[in-house]
Amino acid sequence: MSNRPPPHFQKSLPTEKKISLAEAERAIYIDFEGYVKEAPALIGILIEDDFEQIVLDEKFRGAAAYKDPIAVIPGETVISDLLARSISEDRKIVAFSTLEKEQCMRWYGVDISQRYVNAKSVAGRWARKVNPEVRCRTLKDFEIFTGYQRSRDTGYQKNTSCLNAALRDLDSYGELRNPAPKKHWTNLRKHNRQDVEAMKHIVMATFRPGISTN
């Protein structure tokens, strides 16, 4: 697919700015990892208590086989299947901003906008009601505001550095052999999981007793 960004996908539809408690509990939470100007390399998917990671870029196949192996499946197939499941099981697809929606259309030609919820928009409206003086902009801001505790061993990774380190080994050996690339790849996967889990925590926080905008 073309890497030209579709401008209309960079804005949230009114339906993307709200979600019910029942929808939030059953939603499909997703987060991509990858280079800014390339198709995503990895996706993390959380559905209720089930978390899964899938490598979407063939050049990371060797990394997918390391330690806790994960599947390598073309991104178009993964996103098409998620959209089909979203429709058949009546589940929303939630991501932190408009980025995942835009990338699904840009790289895979799959329009998930009718099933999509922008967690940042949902949580932002709630946060402004709770404390008008607070301005949460990033995932980290919302984590702090809602009291989410991120593991110290992952923190906030520089994902490009992690991917580059993995690729150096993959280009040379076809697999991860050296300690540094192994550590970077492991931390990238931990970071991705925590991003997805934090996002669900933040969305669920908007239903705490007191002020709710949903």
> Which residues 6+ apart lie within 8 Å of 14 measured at CB?
none
Number of structural domains in the chain: 1
Q: 58 lies in a domain?
A: yes
- What is the per-residue pLDDT for 7? 56
Task: Name the average pLDDT for the chain.
Answer: 91
CA distances from 94 to 52, 72, 151 (A): 15, 22, 22
- What is the per-residue pLDDT for 159? 85
Q: 2 lies in a domain?
A: no
Estimate to the nearest angstrom the gap between the alpha carbon of 133 and the chain centroid. Answer: 28
Q: 214 lies in a domain?
A: no
Is the entire prediction scored with pTM above 0.85?
yes
- What is the per-residue pLDDT for 65? 97
- What is the per-residue pLDDT for 151? 78
How far is it, in rounded angstroms, from Cα 15 to Cα 115? 9
- What is the per-residue pLDDT for 10? 66
Q: 125 lies in a domain?
A: yes
Q: Is the dihedral of CA 71, 77, 81, 82 positive or negative?
A: positive
Residue type, 93: I
Q: By residue range, what is the domain housing residue 13?
A: 7-205
Residue 76: CATH number of its domain: 3.30.420
Q: 213 lies in a domain?
A: no
Q: 130 lies in a domain?
A: yes
Low-confidence ranges of the chain (pLDDT < 50): none
Q: 140 lies in a domain?
A: yes
Q: 172 lies in a domain?
A: yes
Candidates 75, 88, 62; CA nearest to 30 is: 75
